Chain A
Amino acid sequence: MFTQYIFHFLSIMALFSAVMVLASKKPIHSVLFLTLAFFAIAGHYVLLNAQFLAVVHVIVYAGAIMVLFLFTVMLLNLNKDERSPKPMWVNFIAFVAGGMLMLTLIGIFRGYDIKAAHDPMISQIGLVKNLGKILYHDYLIPFELSSVLFLTAMVGAVLLGKKEQI
């Protein structure tokens, strides 16, 4: 029962923050609400007993990505309103399309109720020890390739951010 209260609290917090990301006028408020949503999702990971993912999520999203967004917003001096808001009918059509997608997804998943085979609070698969063994045994090649991806992304970001013409 206590778990369910925490689940509902975290869900409402995440959804409210996600709506406020879109509703706030200034980009810096959007970034801060997005941080709140990320912390709520980290709480969801803890609730699923996926502790490794919770820690990685906080470090990567609330740490690295949010700092990148904040630096971009502050360095570019974007803290002002959008210059040209879209016409009203475009927003209306966008809301209708998104609402249709939401209704379709909920309609698909409403009747879907599998009996879960295992209790996530009891199973220990989300702990660092188990995931580390699997990551370095079965998924070693993708793990090493992801470091090459990071190197490529770093070189690309530096090349794109250079002042002089390429």
Chain B
Amino acid sequence: MNTLSSIPIHYYLIFCSLLFSIGVIGVLIKRNALVILMSIELMINSINLLLAAFSAYNNDPSGQIFVFFIMVVAAAEVAIGLAIVVLIYRTTHSIDINVLNKLKW
């Protein structure tokens, strides 16, 4: 079982590109603020996986430390983001981002 010969690094590149693009499409087409947060999580995960893959293939542990810090920041971001979503729901009784257009004009 030799991973070096069986999984080239560009498999990870293409897989992570697909996952990132799905996250971008989700941010663009969805109106539910929760699903937009989930799409952002998908994008963060694809970047994390790619960073870990390059770290493992180059035998450099710093990449995996960076992935750990990105996870730390993502956890804090989700906590704050969901608190803001709860606050939006409390003031507008909806989490449709279409109602958040008071600053638009």
One digit per residue, 1 when the CB lies within 8 angstroms of any chain B CB and 0 when it does not, for chain A 47-78 equals 11110110011001100110011001101101
The CA of A60 and the CA of B67, in the complex, are separated in Å by 12
| B1 partner, pick from A27, A57, A121, A125, beta carbons under 8 A | A121
Q: Which A residues lie within 8 Å of B49 (CB)?
A: 41, 44-45
Report whether over half of chain B's contact residues are helix, strand or loop; otherwise say mixed. helix
Decide: A105 and B21 in contact? CB cutoff 8 A.
yes
B11 within 8 A of A: yes
CB-nearest residue of chain B relative to A22?
B26
Decide: B32 and A27 in contact? CB cutoff 8 A.
yes
The CA of A48 and the CA of B34, in the complex, are separated in Å by 31
Q: A11-B15, A41-B45, A86-B31 are in contact. Are A135 and B65 (CB under 8 A)?
A: yes
Q: A65-B41, A94-B28, A160-B86 are in contact. Are A50 and B52 (CB under 8 A)?
A: yes
Nearest Cβ on chain B to A161's Cβ, whole angstroms? 5
| A149 partner, pick from B14, B32, B39, B76, beta carbons under 8 A | B76
Decide: B64 and A52 in contact? CB cutoff 8 A.
yes
Seen from chain B, the residues whose Cβ lies within 8 Å of a Cβ on chain A are: 1-4, 6-11, 13-15, 17-26, 28-32, 34-35, 37-39, 41-42, 45, 48-49, 52-53, 55-62, 64-65, 67-69, 71-80, 82-87, 89, 94-96, 98
Seen from chain A, the residues whose Cβ lies within 8 Å of a Cβ on chain B are: 1-4, 7, 11, 14-15, 18-19, 21-22, 27, 30-31, 34, 37-38, 41, 44-45, 47-50, 52-53, 56-57, 60-61, 64-65, 68-69, 72-73, 75-76, 78, 82-86, 90-91, 94-95, 97-99, 101-102, 105-106, 109-110, 112-114, 116-121, 123, 125-126, 130-131, 134-135, 138-139, 142, 146, 149-150, 152-154, 156-157, 160-161
